[in-house]
Amino acid sequence: MRVMAQMGMVMNLDKCIGCHTCSVTCKQAWTNRAGTEYVWFNNVETRPGQGYPRRYEDQEKWRGGWQLNKKGRLVLKSGGRVKKLFGLFASPVQPELKDYYEPWTYDYKTLIDAPLGDDFPVARPKSLITGKDTKITWSANWDDDLAGAPEMGHLDPIVEKVRKESEDKIKFAFEQTFMFYLPRICEHCLNPSCMASCPSGAIYKRVEDGIVLVDQDKCRGWRQCITGCPYKKIYFNHKTGKAEKCTFCYPRVEIGLPTVCSETCVGRLRYLGLFLYDADRVTDAAAVTDVKDLYQSQMDVLLDPNDPDVAAAASAQGIPLDWLDAARRSPVYALAKVYKVALPLHPEYRTMPMVWYVPPLSPIVDLLTEQGHDGEDRGNLFGAIDALRIPVEYLAELFTAGDTDMITDVLRKLAAMRAYMRGITMGEEPDPSIPEAVGMTPESMYEMYRLMAIAKYEERYVIPKAHVEQAHDLEEMGCSVDFEGGPGMYEDSPFGEASGRPTPVAVENFYALKDRQTSDTPAGERSMRNRVNLLNWDGNGVPEGLFPDTRDRPRAAAPSPADLDRRGPVVDSSGDSTGSTTVSP
Amino acid sequence: MDLLLWGVLPYVMVAILIGGSIWRYRYDQFGWTTRSSQLYESRLLRIGSPIFHFGILAVVAGHFFGLVIPMSWTLFVGMSQEFYHLNALLVGGIAGIGTLGGIVILIYRRRKTGPVFMATTKNDKIMYVVLTAAIVFGLWTTLASVFEGENGHNYRETVAPWFRSLFLFQPDIAAMAAAPFSFHIHTLVGMLLFTIWPFTRLVHAFTAPLHYLFRPYVVYRSRDKVPGAVRPVRRGWAPIGTEDRARDKR
């Protein structure tokens, strides 16, 4: 048993309102640079829909992920090592920009520069690739909210598949539609096929937290990873010629802060925490014959942090005690393995994804309510889950490789939770038969409700910090923390702020963020040596140094007339004087 | 003049090639990439790029065979001069024409596809000129020997001994000087190509990922001890005008 820790995420799809805040904040944080205009580390797809890039789930075309060869061994779907090397000169199945979209901006300048004329000037769209006029025909979420579904709905690879198996199962007529949102980031897989495809070995999995990163110095732009990733979550920066991907916001996670997408999520639907898993069993678990067994084999790889054997093995392999503790309190482990309501996205790709999803119950509840039923009544809900097969089969293709029973189990648990808790809220006697019907105890059902419905910040995000003993190593060599009053030095370096060697990003963020999140006063309050730091300004109050100080400042002695002659009138910043000359009170 | 061209220049070229590559590898890992433009255009690339690359690999193999292996060896194993010549012409000619065809497709694509042309730097343009010239002149030497037939120049008695003598630091300048003009110009352009090599995108060839065949699929790596974002730039390797350089002065 080789115990390793893995940061994981669970998204509760019932709560996603499709606002794209996560995508926008992620883009602002990571990909608002030249060459990454089309890159969305986080994107939100409306399902049914084609996804981003278009039809990425059609692996017969894109050849992502793993498959079993004739001998039952795991091989990359796009071919073995030798075949990959022969494909270096022109990647056989790489998505082109047209499969994403051509990023654009608008010619805003015309609006103010246009010569006087009879027509109103317009800001024409300009391609960010060619700089020429362009016609906008697609974007990262062009089919948002089922836009164009009657014409293009059949292009969703999952709709295509479900329809092949049974006619009439998915309709796009207005009365018969359903939809939900699917936010997607990199899955930080246990068995990543992007990594396996990388000829340079530039993509790596961090030993400490399992985050999958691209070493920008080692990447040589062979672009095999883009084909290799079945989720198409590796992007090619066309300016630098390097692959880029979601970083799980590792600089934030290292200091115990949630990822940007989680922190800014309006619906608070994301959970972050640790999994412990047995790294020795990953390859075998990914190679089970029946794709429907993959969910179970993935669950078996996850280790129970409360098991003393696991804890002993983890300690022996250098996992710190506070990490072990965090693993025990992990919300993602609870949702995935204890309550078994979170499911991996497309387990059939055999990559062992570590971003999990609680499937949405809402389409069913909404439909029942619209039909005049009590949408939260247990009897109605349980019946409806079985009767309304449309979402169940669709969801099964997304989360369980087509196993509808598994999806039904999860949806029944979610329905039971609603019915059980509604009874309590309505002042009725708790009905223990409801949890029992889905194989849970009243206590565990209440715990699950706390985690999913109350979802306190500190319960949603249990993120152990990069370890204290290692904290010193995280900082630059020769830049000791105990220099001049310890870590506080980052605000007050000997020769003013930002003098000396560059401050490690994580450390600077940590103190700025800690200050901002814990203090009652505006962040700019403390001395910054008369410099304005707008980066640390949280919008409250006036940042120090932006305007002359009006309080506490010792007034200067009245200047001599000679000074006044030389410098002209001095304006008093305190505002209590009329400002022609300064008079000391 | 001959001394300068065939006795001094080759060593200058090698010094720049090796020194430049080491400098680039240490200083500009981030810029060390193929800078693939497949994202912009795939159809023509899928035709042109493999033809060019496999062609040039064959050409490299041919150069090795022609320059490094002495004529006496091939004669010793019973390979007649005629057979060798025919073989070199056939294989070399096909490889050379393939390489040229490939690069013509790639240059056409680069010029005619808007986004690809936009992403082409001055550096790329210079590199393309030198690379194409080297291929064209090389092909010229091969084709010339076709038309000259039996009376053609046997480079294995002039260029090849000179090439081998370079490694012994006893350059056989007279042998090279005896070669015809077409070989001279091809060699000079070739040396120019290798001189600019470390400073162009061609460096990607030096990191051909052969180790991919032998490494495990999943790569585990420990968190960097020093965060990459703030790794200090090595003294003396900083580009002009940066904070680091200013600090060194202070």
* A355-358 and A343-344 strand pairing: antiparallel
**A214 or A470, which is more confident?**
A214
The CA distance from A520 to the nearest CA of chain B, in Å, is 31
Alpha-carbon distance B227 to nearest alpha carbon in chain A (angstroms):
6
Q: What is the pLDDT of residue A541?
A: 72
Q: Which of A88, A89, A239 to mutate to test the interface with B (most CBs of B within 10 A)?
A: A89
Residue A504 · residue B223 · CB < 8 Å? no
pLDDT average, residue stretch A3-27: 96
Model ipTM? 0.87
| Count of all residues that appear for chain B in the document | 250
pLDDT value of position A569: 44
- Give the mean model confidence (pLDDT) for residues A471-480: 44
Query: What pLDDT is attached to residue A581?
Result: 41
Helix, strand, or coil here: A76? strand
Could A221 and B212 be called an inter-chain contact, meaning their C-beta atoms sit closer than 8 Å?
no
Please, what is the end-to-end C-alpha distance for chain A in angstroms?
Answer: 78
Question: Which range (A127-131, A475-479, B132-136, B143-147) has the least confidence?
Answer: A475-479
Q: Give the E-state strand segments of A173-241 in sequence order.
A: 180-184, 203-206, 212-214, 234-237
Among the ranges given (A84-98, A423-437, A454-468), the one the predictor scored with the smallest mean pLDDT: A454-468
Nearest Cα residue to B223 out of A503, A471, A330: A471
Between A216-230, A291-305, A362-376, A518-532, the lowest mean confidence (pLDDT) is in: A518-532
Size of interface A-B (CB pairs under 8 A): 147
Cβ of A148 under 8 Å from any chain B Cβ? no
Q: How many CB atoms lie within 10 A of CB B101?
A: 15
pLDDT computed for residue A507 by the predictor: 59
Do A220 and B32 lie within an 8 Å CB cutoff?
yes
Who has greater pLDDT, A170 or B236?
Answer: A170
pLDDT of residue B104: 97
Question: Which residues 21-50 on chain B approach chain A with CB closer than 8 angstroms?
Answer: 29-30, 32-42, 45-46, 49-50
**pLDDT value of residue A537:** 66
**Side chain identity at A370, as an amino acid letter?**
E
pLDDT of residue A562: 47
- Report how far residue A522's alpha carbon sits from residue A115's, in angstroms, rounded to the nearest whole number: 46
Q: Confirm or reject contact between A204 and chain B (CB < 8 A).
A: yes
What is the pLDDT confidence band of residue A506, given thresholds at 50, 70 and 90? low
Residues of A in contact with B41 (CB under 8 A): 96
Label residue A370 by pLDDT band (50, 70, 90): confident
Least confident stretch, A23-27, A206-210, A417-421, A474-478: A474-478
Higher pLDDT, B208 or A527: B208
Cα angle vertex A303, ends A300, A306, to 5°?
Answer: 135
- Does A27 contact chain B (CB < 8 Å)? no
B83-98 residue pLDDT tens: 888 888 888 899 999 9
d(CA A511, CA A489): 10
Closest of A308, A312, A305, A211 to residue A254, by C-alpha: A211
The angle formed by the CA atoms of residues A421, A426 and A432, to the nearest 5 degrees, is 45
Mean pLDDT of A319-346: 96
Cβ contact (<8 Å) for A201 and B118?
A: no
Q: Confirm or reject contact between A221 and chain B (CB < 8 A).
A: yes
Dump pLDDT digits (tens) for B70-126: 888 888 888 888 888 888 888 889 999 999 999 999 999 999 998 999 889 999 999
Of chain A, the percentage scoring pLDDT greater than 70 comes to 77
Dist CA A164 CA A402 (whole Å): 13
Q: What pLDDT score does A531 carry? A: 55
Residue B218 Cα, gap to closest chain A Cα (Å): 6
Query: Chain A, 266-325: which have a CB under 8 Å from a chain B CB?
Result: 282
Is the whole model's pTM more than 0.95, yes or no? no
SS3 A142: coil
Please say whether the beta carbons of A524 and A537 come within 8 A.
yes
Band (A40; pLDDT cuts 50, 70, 90): very high
Position A374 scores a pLDDT of 73
**CA-based nearest residue in chain A for residue B36:** A241
